Amino acid sequence: MGLREKGVEFLDKITRKSGYVNDWIVIREADTSSDYGVLPYERKTVDHINFGVINLDKPPGPTSHEVVAWIKRMFNVDKAGHGGTLEPRYLVCGVGKPQGDWGTTSRVS
Amino acid sequence: MTGVLPVGLAESTKVIGNVVHSVKEYVMVVQLHENIEKEKIREIVNYFKGQIYQKPPLRSSVKRTIRVKTIYEIEVLDSQDKYILLRVLCDPGTYMRKLAHDMGLLLGVGAHMRELRRTRTGPFREDETLVTLQELNEALYIWRTTGKDSYLRRTVLPVEVSTAHLPKILILDTAVDAIAHGANLAAPGVAALTKNVEANKTVAIYTLKGELVALGKAIRNTEEIVKMDKGIVAKTTRVVMPRGVYPKYWKTKESTGTQ
C-alpha cells in the first residue's frame, strides 16, 4: 500500500469514527515521498504529544481553564487550549461557589 | 458540569478552538418546581424541536440579543417526580440552562437545570477515546518510567482528529512548505478534495500522508475548484505544520537568479 493510500485511509478512518464521511474527488494522482513528513499515527512520541489532542472527560469541580492549566503542567508543554467552555458545576441555592466566582466561564455551550 | 472537553496540546492549540463552532450534544437533568404529568412533559419538550428563539442568560459571554438556534434532536430519556432526564443535540452556542428555564415557563410551573453533561462536540464523542485526568496521568507515568507509549497513544489522539468533521483538501508535496509559510493554496497544488467544500467555509488542508498542514477558508466550492487550473482555492488562516518539514519548491528571486 502506497503512502498516499495509507494517509487517505487514516483520514477516512478518523472521519468515520466521528460520524462523518469523506466523499473524495481526485484531481492529481501523484504519491508522496517517504523522505520527509510522517504518517500521523507514526509520529515520534514527543511529536505525538506536541501534535496531540485529548478528548477529556472534564471533572465537575474546576473550571475548563483550570483543567487546561493542569494538563499543560502534566505534559510539560508551553501551551495548551480547549474547545468550548463547560461551566464548573451546577449551582443549587446556597450550595457551591457563589455566582460571582464563575467569572467568564459560565457559558454552557 | 462534566463531559467532553477537547484539549489541544502545544501545536494543536492553534486549531482546537475551531471545534467551538461544531454541533453539540448534551444530557441534562431538569428540575421542575412542581409535579407535572409525564404526557404533558413530553408534549412541551417536543415544542423545542427545530428552530427556537433564545436570549442568552444574564451571566453569559456573548451579546444578549435574541438568537435563532436549532435543536436537531430532543428526547426525554427518563422522568421521575420533579426530575426530567433529557438528551439534546443542538447548534453551538445554545444555552442549556436557558432551555431548561424556558421549558419551565411553558409548563407553567418553573424549572431549572440541575445537572449537565456534554456528550459530543463535533468530532469528539463520549466513546472509548474519552479519558479522565487520572487516566492521562497514568499514561504519562507509564511512558516516563518504562518508555512504553502505547497507553499514551490511546489517551492522546493525533491533531487531525479535531478536524475530522471539516471539508478536506489534500495537497501535493510541492505545495506543503509554501502553506507552512502562510501562503494561500493555489489550484495546481490540489491533489484531491471532498465534495462538501463550500466558499467562505472552513476547510482542513492535509498532506497526502494525512498530516494536517493548516486550516483555511475556501474561496470556491468543490465543483468550481475541480475546473480550476490556476488561482487561489483557499486562504490559509491557521498553520499547524512547522516550516521546513517538506522541501521548499516555490521560486524566489535568489533561486531563479533574477533581480
Q: Is A80 on the interface with B (CB under 8 A)?
A: yes
Which chain A residues have a beta carbon less than 8 Å from that of B165?
Answer: 15, 18, 20
Q: Is A36 on the interface with B (CB under 8 A)?
A: yes
CA–CA min distance A34, chain B (Å): 9
| CA–CA distance, B43 with B46 (Å, rounded to integer) | 5
Which chain A residues have a beta carbon less than 8 Å from that of B92?
Answer: 84, 109
pLDDT of residue B61: 74
Question: At B3, is the pLDDT very low, low, confident or very high (cuts 50, 70, 90)?
Answer: very high
- Work out the average pLDDT over B75-82: 94
**Lowest pLDDT segment from B83-97, B108-122, B240-254:** B240-254
Q: Looking at the predicted structure, is the pLDDT value of residue B166 above 50?
A: yes
Residue contacts between A and B (CB atoms, under 8 Å): 294
Question: At B57, is the pLDDT very low, low, confident or very high (cuts 50, 70, 90)?
Answer: confident
User: How many other CB atoms are there within 10 angstroms of residue B232's CB atom?
Assistant: 16
pLDDT of residue B249: 87
Residue of B nearest to A43 (CA): B158
Which chain A residues have a beta carbon less than 8 Å from that of B150?
Answer: none
Residue of A nearest to B7 (CA): A82
Q: Is B244 on the interface with A (CB under 8 A)?
A: no
Which residues in chain A show pLDDT less than 70?
89-109
Residue type, B249: Y
Helix (H) and strand (E) counts in chain A? 3, 3
pLDDT of residue A98: 39
Q: Looking at the predicted structure, is the pLDDT value of residue B251 above 90?
A: no
Which chain B residues have a beta carbon less than 8 Å from that of A23?
Answer: 194-196
**Lowest pLDDT segment from B62-71, B101-110, B123-132:** B62-71
- Work out the average pLDDT over B208-212: 98
Q: Looking at the predicted structure, is the pLDDT value of residue B145 above 90?
A: yes
Which chain A residues have a beta carbon less than 8 Å from that of B94?
Answer: 109
Which chain B residues have a beta carbon less than 8 Å from that of A99?
Answer: 59
Interface mutation target, options A24, A73, A75, A109, chain B, most CBs of B under 10 Å: A109
Contact B5 A75 (CB under 8 A): no
Contact A108 B95 (CB under 8 A): yes
Residue of A nearest to B192 (CA): A26
Q: Which of B2, B95, B164 sits opposite A20 (nearest CB)?
A: B164
How large a percentage of chain B has pLDDT more than 70?
97
Contact B191 A30 (CB under 8 A): yes
- Work out the average pLDDT over B49-60: 88
Burial class from Cβ neighbours inside 10 Å (0-12, 13-18, 19+) for residue A82 reads buried
Contact A18 B125 (CB under 8 A): yes
Q: Is A81 on the interface with B (CB under 8 A)?
A: yes
pLDDT digits (tens, 9 = 90+) for B126-136: 999 999 999 99
- Name the residue with cell 478528548: A55
